[in-house]
Structure 1
Amino acid sequence: MNPVRAFLNKFIFTRNIHWGLLVFLLLFLDVKLVVKLAAILFIYALQPNFRFGFGFKNPRLPLFYPFVVCLAVVNTFLYGHFFQLNYLLVLTFGIGFWMACILAVHQIKRIVEKTDAQIIYQTLVVFFLLNTCVSAFQYLRIVFETGALNPFLYQGNYQKYFISTGDYIKGLSFDTSTTNAVINAFGIVFFLSKRAWLLTMMCTVTLLFTASNLVNLVVFATLLLLFVFNTHKVQKTVIVACFALFVVFMAKVSPQNNRYAVNVFEKVFGIRNETRTAQAKPVDVRILPDSVLTVEQRKEKVARLYLDSLGASIAAKRREENKSLVAMVNERPFIPQPSIHSAPFQNRDDTNAYRKELLCFMTKRQEHFDNYAQTTLPGKAIAYWQTGAFVFQHPLCLLTGAGLGNFSSKMAFKATALQFAGGFPQRFAYINPDFSSNHLDLYTYFFSKRADAHSVTNSPASVYDQLLGEYGLIGLAVFFIFYMGFFARHYKRLTYGIPLLFLLLAFFFIDYWFEQLSIVPLFEALLFLNLKETEAA
């Protein structure tokens, strides 16, 4: 063996931590694509091996990955895109994402196979600790910037933080806060099974501070199932403590998120509680954030704040006129605090460069957006309806999908060269008409609006939507049989792997996670570790 490589191999096993795996996870989960590429180069330089072990009989890795690449190539010929230069670049990029998944899962599996399970566990502990430390640093930075110990209640700086504070808690991936939330969701289930109570609570607190309502809902539904069916007394106590933290957070730390979650729920299910509306006490719109107000309520708020300020000004003048006593010289001067109703404490509806680009794009296609304005459904629900309608109107697409980057994927958004999902050469921009008239219009409509509409509930991103829209029923079948089935067939050996599978299935409704190259490799590392532990037992 090469002496340098021998030294490195000896170093990475020092102190019961697999430093190679840790560095790989830290780099690969980073939001920057170039850093992910560096992670792959690093791990393959450290231990070069390309024996993936794909085979129909007892495959070493999920066959889903090579099958989905084959489907992408077949669709390229099937729809005659092979001779379009711009699309070939899209195809190359798209297959590159899938190949990155293969390269990552191969090395993760290889490391788990060759390393003691306890070392892998301790490496993952360090990973989650680092993620919490970075998240805590991000929160403290906001505290120092605002001067408020609880930025979730701080309305200054034009409500930059306030209800959106969780969006800035991105963790060590520096991706969206949703990614950080999902990472901690995995950590909660993992450490709960390992009976590492402090680490479980640590991940719970970090999850809550990301303020990701959808992830919270999925996690606590999973914990409820574990509480009922598969935990002992101490684990049940820890689960109750997690629920208590959730209640405290929603009631005291970020109560406005509670109302926001209720609003989203009512929109999704079309609920309108007339009794509550009729019996409720009049709400003072002046103290509510703009994100929970209707257009008419915002107008009322502006008018009432103006009248309040006018009245305060008149009252101040009268007090000055009626003053008969002169303040004592040695009296401590009083510095009035800014009014919470003043401009810096209200949400500023600025149009930044990104939003301007979206609005400019909308002006060219205004006739496409009328239908969205007439519905109360969130964007994600509309996206599923669009995909279902599209594939049933095109029988061939129902079978094999519209093709990679042609209907619903991160690659489709990236190829627009509109900076939706990272950069793309402008001269090679590619927009499929089916994507343009469906998910692209949908995304543009919601994300060109005020910031409170920029939610995962309004994003068309979803693994299931991607598979059905671009790979058809065959793609969905391949996913369930050759990816989920790859792990689920070992259900008798899985412990924490089963709730992790449940979590992943739910989280795949939220984003294009395979193309994100973030949470899926972490999930795979946890599942491979679970299988190794039970195999040894």
Structure 2
Amino acid sequence: MEAFIKLKQIDFIFIVFLLLVTQGNIQLKLVGILFILLLRPNAILKINGLAKFYILIILLHVCSGIINFIINGVGYFINFMMVFVFWTISFIIISQINYFLKLKTIEVINATINLFFIISVLFVLYQYLSLSFDYWAINPYSISPAAGDNMKSIYSNSSVNMIVMSFFLLSYAFRTKWVFALFSLICLLMCTYMSGTVIFLVGILFSVLFFSKIKRKYKVYLVGASLISIVIFSSVSPSNVNYAMGYINRIMENEDRVPYKIKSFWQTIDYNSSSVKSLFIGAGGGNFSSRVAFMGSGDYVDWFPKTLSYSSDEFIKNHLGIWNHDFNNKWDDKNNTANQPFSFYNQIMGEYGLVGVLIFLLFYLGYVAKNWNILTYSKFAMACLLGYFLLDYWFEYFSVMVIFELLLMLDIKLNSKEEKENMNAKEIMR
């Protein structure tokens, strides 16, 4: 890593906010939001870029919420408010990212993000050492195939850490920060998150082959690095590779034993085709498939008060049924990524319908497409993110999307015409 980071180049307000808001603990996330709102309230006044997507989703949620109050009554209120707060938090976060990147110099931005990354890596190192001492083994993965679950860094779980590290890996590799990139790769592999790792490799290979403008020799390097990573991963934790291949084979067979993740997608399609309302605006936020829907049910987290629990009929008949019943079968009783109904695609289609999908396409992916010609690593990160959306409700975690959007906006800033002119001017002054 870099020899040192000058303290005067660190934006400590933003890094404290970033460390708090990406934590697994929801209370710390809220502290981070209050902290940044008190110190930088003006950031939320300008609605631009990705912030437009969040505003429109909030408006759609409010409009569909009115309809759902009429249909389902006041019992829906808690879920409605949780969804409203979650999307509002996402809006606040992207506003603060825009504010940070607009007002700070490249030196300050890089130093702040680098320090955040170093802190994340140090936590992984601590977790690895702790596990090694617990198992009394240099390679704890040889003792337990679940060792990677402990490598969660500052985040809620190892899957979040793996995805975040994949974004850092792309960012640092494209900017030739090879030491940082190497540490990103090591942390990524240490998580042993098979579903995410497979999607990452597929996303990289797809990006290299179809829309990358990098030289052919670098394409070969990336493909080679991917193959080497597979070999290393297979030798360190072969049981995880065998586990993943078993589920991939079942997906390809598409028979009765298909993983419940696939079943959940069919449930969403069936629901959307059941009525005009479900097709165009969905069941409403927190009513079909989302982290809020599961939390509000009272069956997903221990801390949610049972007296406030609520589940819509659409949720009970579909994805909650998978969670509560389908895991308890004679041939696959595992609560894992392959069986969980969690997916952003289930959420956007099931809860917001075609209108929500259109908002996402035009104002989220559309914003990326608008800046496509100047993007570098973000093209690869976007391809991977579309795959990661298969795995969970990442917008409701305030970690994966926070880092993706921070690095995306940084990519746009670094390659914008204005920034390049500023950098050229600085070189002339020197």
Q: What is the TM-score normalised by the length of structure 1?
A: 0.72
Match of 1:35 in 2: 28
Q: Give yes or no for contact 1:132–1:206 (8 Å, CA) kept in 2.
A: yes
Partner Cα distance (2:137, 2:248) in 1: 30
Residues 208, 246 of structure 1: 8 Å contact kept: no
Judge conservation of contact 1:93–1:411 (CA < 8 Å) in 2: yes
Per the TM alignment, residue 221 of structure 1 is displaced from its structure 2 partner at its CA by 2.1
Question: For residues 261 and 424 of structure 1, what CA distance do their matches in structure 2 show?
Answer: 33
Q: Is the 8 A contact 1:53 1:60 kept in 2?
A: no
Cα distance per residue 1:113-151 (max 9 Å; x no partner)? 001123212222222222122112112211111112222
Q: Which residue of 183, 198, 202 maps to 2:183? A: 202
State whether residues 142 and 151 of structure 1, in contact with CA within 8 Å, keep that contact through their aligned partners in structure 2: yes
* Distance in 2 (alpha carbons) for counterparts of 1:508 and 1:264: 18
SS of the residue corresponding to residue 298 of structure 2 reads coil
Q: Equivalent residues in 2 for 1:164-175 (5 A)?
A: 164-173=146-155, 175=156
Describe how 1:111-122 pairs up with structure 2 within 5 A: 111-122=100-111
CA 1:219–1:408: 2 relative to 1, 3 Å: same
What is aligned with 2:305? 425
Which amino acid in the other structure matches residue 428 of structure 1? L
Match of 1:435 among 279, 302, 315: 315
Q: For 1:21-55, what per-residue CA distance to the aligned partner results, in whole angstroms no more than 9, with x for missing partners?
A: 2211111010111101111111122222154333x
Q: Which runs of 5+ in 1 are unaligned?
A: 1-11, 155-161, 272-373
* CA displacement 1:343-374 (0-9 Å, x = unmatched): xxxxxxxxxxxxxxxxxxxxxxxxxxxxxxx9
Alpha-carbon displacement from aligned partner over 1:369-392 (angstroms, at most 9, x marks no partner): xxxxx9211111100000100110
Number of the residue aligned with 2:284? 403
Partner of 1:127: 116
Q: Residues 381-435 of structure 1, C-alpha deviation per residue, up to 9 Å, x if partnerless?
A: 10000010011012211110011111111111011122x1463222121011110
Structure 1 equivalent of residue 424 of structure 2? none
TM-score, with length taken from structure 2: 0.89
Kindly tell me: are residues 61 and 234 of structure 1, through their superposed partners in 2, closer, same or farther at Cα, counting changes over 3 Å?
closer
**Are the aligned partners of 1:152 and 1:165 in contact in 2 as well (CA < 8 Å)?**
yes
Change (3 A) 1:43 1:389: same
Structure 1 contact 201–242 (Cα < 8 Å) conserved:
no
In structure 2, C-alpha distance between the alignment counterparts of 1:221 and 1:184, rounded to whole Å: 16
Stretch deviating more after TM superposition (485-494 or 383-392): 485-494
Structure 1 residues 448 and 201, CA gap change in structure 2 (3 angstroms): farther
Amino acid in structure 1 at the alignment position of 2:104? T
Alignment partner for residue 354 of structure 2, among 473, 488, 498?
A: 473
Rate the CA distance shift 1:165–1:515 in 2: closer, same or farther, 3 A. same
Larger Rg: 1
- Kindly tell me: are residues 243 and 128 of structure 1, through their superposed partners in 2, closer, same or farther at Cα, counting changes over 3 Å? farther
Distance in 1 between the 2:319 and 2:46 partners? 37
2:375 counterpart of 1:393: no
Q: Which residue of 2 aligns with 1:64?
A: 53
Q: Distance in 2 between matches of 1:379 and 1:434?
A: 17
Secondary structure, counterpart of 1:454 in structure 2: coil
Partner SS state of residue 374, structure 2 = coil
1:197–1:238 CA contact under 8 A, matched in 2 = no
1:231 and 2:214 equivalent? yes
Structure 1: how far apart are the matches of 2:44 and 2:241? 50
- What amino acid is aligned across from residue 433 of structure 1 in structure 2? D
Tell me if structure 2 keeps the 8 A contact 1:52–1:60.
no
Q: Distance in 1 between matches of 2:72 and 2:283?
A: 16
Query: Equivalent residue for 2:228?
Result: 244
Compute the RMSD of aligned alpha carbons: 2.3
For the pair 1:453 / 2:334, whether they are aligned, the reply is yes
- Is the CA contact (8 Å cut-off) linking 1:82 and 1:88 kept in structure 2? no
TM superposition shift of 1:106? 0.4
Summarize deviations over 1:493-524 as a string: whole Å, max 9, x none: 21112112112211111111111111111111
Q: Within the alignment, does 1:98 sit opposite 2:87 as a pair?
A: yes
**Residue 381 (structure 2) aligns with:** 500
Aligned-pair distance for 1:235? 7.6
Task: Report Cα offsets for 1:418-465 as digits up to 9, x if no partner.
Answer: 2x1463222121011110111001012355579972211111111111
Q: Secondary structure at the match of 1:517?
A: coil
**1:438 is aligned with what amino acid?**
N
- Structure 2 matches for 1:127-526, cutoff 5 A? 127-154=116-143, 162-173=144-155, 175-225=156-206, 227-228=208-209, 229-232=212-215, 233=217, 236-237=220-221, 240-250=224-234, 252-270=235-253, 375-418=256-299, 420-421=300-301, 423-445=303-325, 447=327, 453-526=334-407
Amino acid at match of 1:180: N
> Within 2, Cα distance between the matches of 1:76 and 1:47?
30
Identical-residue share of aligned pairs (%)? 28
Q: Is the 8 A contact 1:406 1:431 kept in 2?
A: yes
Match of 2:412 in 1: 531
> CA 1:118–1:236 in structure 2 vs 1: closer, same or farther (change >3 Å)?
farther
